[in-house]
Every structure is written in C-alpha cells, then in structure tokens.
Copies of this chain bind each other. A is one copy, B any other.
Amino acid sequence: MRAAFDRDQEDFAGQFRSFCEKECPPSAVRAAWTSEVGFSRERWGKLAELGVLGIGVPEELGGIGRGEVELAALLEVAGWAAVPEPVLETMAMAVPLLRECASGPGARVAREWLALIAAGEAVVTVGPEPAWASGATGSQLTTVLPGADMVLVAGSNGVVAVPSEACGIVARRALDGTRRLAEVTFDPAAATVLAGPDEALASLGKLADQAACGSAALLVGLSSRLLGMAVEHAGERRQFGRQIGSFQAVKHKLSDVALRIELARPAVWYAAWQLANQGAEASQAASVAKALAAEAATAAASASLQVHGAIGYTAEHDLHLWMKRSWALASWWGDAAHHRSRVLQSLIARTE
C-alpha cells in the first residue's frame, strides 16, 4: 500500500511544471484564445519532445509506455498551467482508446496514429460527448475540432477513425476561448473501423471513465492554481488598513477550498491507479474523483473570484482563464451530480 507517486513520477511532473512555467505562462494561454485553432502547434511539438504526449504510447511506437498514474500526475500540472493544448482529448482519451484498438480490425491505423501522437505530429480528438453529459437541450459536441487531425468517434455501433478533412464541422465557440467545440458529421466511407459494435460498448464505458479521471486531474490542477492566485491576492490587497487575507471570512473561505482540493487529489490518484490496473472499482473511482474534483474547482473558482473582487471579474486579469476552464471541465463528460448518482448506483449494485 503506497498512496503516493514514486520519485520518477514526481520528477517527471516537476519537469513538466518547469516546462509550463517557461513555455506556457498566462500570456501564452491568453494568446491561444485568439489563435486560429485555440492552441499552439509549436508547443504541441515541444510537449512531444518532453515525452508528455507519449506518456501512454507504447515504447515500440515511440512513446514512454506508462499508464494512467503518470498521466494523472501530468494532467494535474497541465491544469495548474491551464495548458491550452488538447491534452485531455489526445492524452487521456484518444491514446487509451487507440491502445485498446491496437490489436483489433483497425490495428494498423491505431498504431500509426499512436506513433504520430508520440511524435507530436498529430492532434486527435474524441467525440461526440454522450447525451447524458451535454444536457438535454445541447447538441452533441466534440472538442478542438478545428485543430484536430483526426476524430475518433465512439458510439454504440463501433469506434471509427475519421480524418478531420472528411468531417462536416459546425464550429461552436465556448466561453473559454481555447475550447473550440463543434458538431460533427462524417461520411462513413471515409472512416476506418477500429472496433466493432461488440467491443465498442466496453470501449465507450472505459472512455467515459478515462474522461472523468482525466478531467478530474486537470480540475485538481486548475483548483490549486485558482487557490494559489487567491492566496497571493489576499496577501497583497489591502482594505481597511489590513491585508484582506487577515480577515477570517477570507481565511475560512480559502481553507475550505484547500480542504476540497486535498480530498480530491488522492481520489484522482486512486481512480488513475484503478484504471491503470483494470481494477473492479475503476468506474466508481473515476466518478468519485470527478465528483470531488468538479466540486473543488467550482468552489475554488467561486472563492477566488470573490476574494479578488472586481479585478477578478475582468478579462484583463488572468483569473478568468482558469475560472472558465474550470467551469467547462466541471461538467464536461458528466458533472458532479451525474457522477454522484453513478457512484450510488454502483454501490447499490455491489450489495445486490
């Protein structure tokens, strides 16, 4: 029993963090908002060089061949830095899905794209988000379509790979300028079948778990940065002749957020470990993690905005870059209430 990263994992995460501090400061996140595709192809290449993109790609395909635990460590850092690149879609969703399809009917294509991802030469997205996540009035959406090279479409009929140029894309802009959403249609003739209907259902379930766990890891990172910004501001801003961080209302608000984060983080680790080890509790653990992380992020955004006051309400301050990403990821592929309900269902099923 050891509920902690090992030194390698810590070191890798530390290096990625240093990378982000240098290559992805808030100004870079801001630049991505107004860029053509919402992220930087150049930084994508650097992420590959660092080994980040290949973390889950098998070694023989040019990757590092590690699993969800290492991924969780990296995604927390990516959240902390609000990295605009589609790491959730490509690293946490496409890579595991392609890995699973690497021995199926579309093995050749799957392996090819895994290698391209590890090399930083491909951006792969997965969609559409299932109806239970997008809400009844929303259409089914896919992220980062304009910048993706390929779309994996996972439905109950199978998993297919479609080159972006063969997709019909209706772009929808989101509140977070780096989230480029789209409604997607495609010509079946242009699609490569990676898995048939039988395997697809299992894949879809795993995909949802990966999405939940991956977004939870990002949310923990986002939350800790939101908290850090609030702590910093509270130590600097003075009102009534005192630092506002010396007021108990501010202290207690922020310590509650710290608690939510400290509870969510080990839950993400456990979910990642379960996924990596195909544990019986993988789905449940992923939902626990997402429920906790989404709540932590919502609380962190709310507290941090309130502590910043009007300056936090501007688009000039960096806070909104983290806040808007948090709101989006908190409900993407299932909000906290959905995942709590899923946890309860699985607890009941277990006792039956």
C-alpha spacing A340/B247, complex, angstroms: 35
Question: Which residues of B are found within 8 Å of A247, using beta-carbon distances?
Answer: 248
A252 to B252, CA, bound (A): 11
The reply to whether the CB of A136 lies closer than 8 angstroms to some CB of chain B is: no
Is A249 positioned at the interface, with any CB of B under 8 Å from its CB? yes
Query: What is the distance, in angstroms, from A303's C-beta to the closest C-beta of chain B?
Result: 14
Tell me, in angstroms, the Cα distance from A252 to B249 when the chains sit together.
8
Minimum Cβ distance to chain B for residue A289 (Å): 27
Contact indicator per residue, chain A 216-247, by CB within 8 Å of chain B (1) or not (0): 00000000000000000000000000000001
Q: Contacts of A252 on B, CB cut-off 8 Å? A: 249
Q: How far is the CA of A247 from the CA of B252 in the complex (A)?
A: 12
The B-contacting residues of A in range 246-266, CB under 8 angstroms, are 247-249, 252
A-B contact pairs, 5 of them (CB 8 A): A247-B248, A248-B248, A248-B249, A249-B249, A249-B252
Q: Name the residue of chain B whose CB is nearest to the CB of A250.
A: B248
Q: How far is the CA of A248 from the CA of B245 in the complex (A)?
A: 12
- Kindly provide the distance from the CB of A198 to the nearest chain B CB, expressed in whole angstroms: 41
Q: Which residue of B lies closest to A249 (CB)?
A: B248
Chain B residue at smallest Cβ distance from A248: B248
With the chains together, A248 CA to B247 CA distance in Å? 7
Provide the residues of chain B in CB contact with A248, threshold 8 Å.
247-249
- Which residues from 11 to 32 on chain A have a C-beta closer than 8 Å to any C-beta of chain B? none
A27 → chain B closest CB, angstroms: 36
Least CB distance, A317 to chain B, in whole angstroms: 25
CA distance A249 to B255 in the complex (A): 12
Q: How far is the CA of A247 from the CA of B249 in the complex (A)?
A: 9
A254 to chain B, nearest CB (A): 13
Determine the chain B residues whose CB is within 8 A of the CB of A249 once the complex forms. Answer: 248-249, 252
Query: What 5 A-B pairs have minimum CB-CB distances, sorted nearest first?
Result: A248-B248, A248-B249, A249-B252, A247-B248, A249-B249
CA A249 to CA B250, docked complex, whole Å: 10
A178 smallest CB distance to B (angstroms): 36
**What separation, in Å, do the CA atoms of A255 and B133 have in the docked complex?**
37
Give Cα distance in the complex from A247 to B247, angstroms. Answer: 9
* Min CB–CB distance A344 → chain B (angstroms): 16
Name which residue of chain B comes closest to A247, CB basis: B248
Q: Which residue of B lies closest to A253 (CB)?
A: B252
Minimum C-beta distance from A247 to chain B (A): 6
Bound form: Cα–Cα A252–B248 in Å: 10
> Which residue on chain B has the smallest CB distance to residue A252?
B249
Distance in angstroms between the alpha carbons of A313 and B160 in the assembled complex: 63
Measured between C-beta atoms, what is the minimum distance from A242 to chain B in Å? Answer: 12
Q: Mark A262-296, 1 if CB is under 8 A from B, else 0.
A: 00000000000000000000000000000000000
Cα distance A252–B208 in the bound complex, in angstroms? 41
Smallest beta-carbon distance A306→chain B, Å: 12
Compute how far the CA of A91 lies from the CA of B24 in the bound complex, rounded to whole angstroms.
69
A192 and B338 alpha carbons, distance in the complex (Å): 52
| Cα distance, A247 to B251, chains bound together (Å) | 12
- How far does the alpha carbon of A134 sit from the alpha carbon of B252 in the complex, in Å? 37
**C-alpha spacing A249/B248, complex, angstroms:** 6
